[in-house]
Amino acid sequence: MKLNKKEVAQNLRLFGYKKFGTMKKFAEALDMNPSTLYSGYLNGRSLPGPVLLVKLIDLGCNINWLLTNRESPFTNDDDRIKKLEDENLRLRSTVQRPTSPAAFVEPKKVNGAFAESRR
């Protein structure tokens, strides 16, 4: 399968706008000069190499989509979200909850201020 540089450039531009709003912010996120991003990758002259592809993955770009137009632009985080939700539920179950209404009683006020403990 031969990659189409123009399609990859179009997908790269689409990802950048959706994720960062501007190509300048996108270039900054890639640690790249905006002119390099434009002249090399967004005009379809060059395909992203391994270093740039890794940076794109770290930014949440689905590389399969970027290069082939298959799937969706953003990586699927469903598994990661499910693990975080499970961990959240596990941690919540370990937190001790107050069992008596007395645990919710506010400190008594003396003359409009909270009473200080005296030694």
**What CATH number is attached to the domain comprising 64?**
1.10.260.40
Q: Where is 85: in which H helix or E strand?
A: helix 78-94
The count of residues in the chain is 119
Q: What is the pLDDT of residue 104?
A: 61
Q: What is the pLDDT of residue 90?
A: 82
DSSP annotation of 30 reads T
Residue 67 structure tokens: 């290069």
Q: What is the pLDDT of residue 97?
A: 67
Q: What is the pLDDT of residue 40?
A: 87
Q: What is the pTM of this model?
A: 0.59
Which residue range forms the structural domain that includes residue 56?
Answer: 1-119
For the chain, how many structural domains are there in total? 1
Q: Which long-range contacts link 16-25 to residues 24+ away (Cβ below 8 Å)? A: 18/73, 19/59, 19/60, 19/61, 19/74
Q: What is the pLDDT of residue 29?
A: 94
Q: What is the pLDDT of residue 102?
A: 61
Series of mean pLDDT values for 10-residue runs along the chain (119 residues): 88 93 93 90 91 92 87 65 73 72 62 57
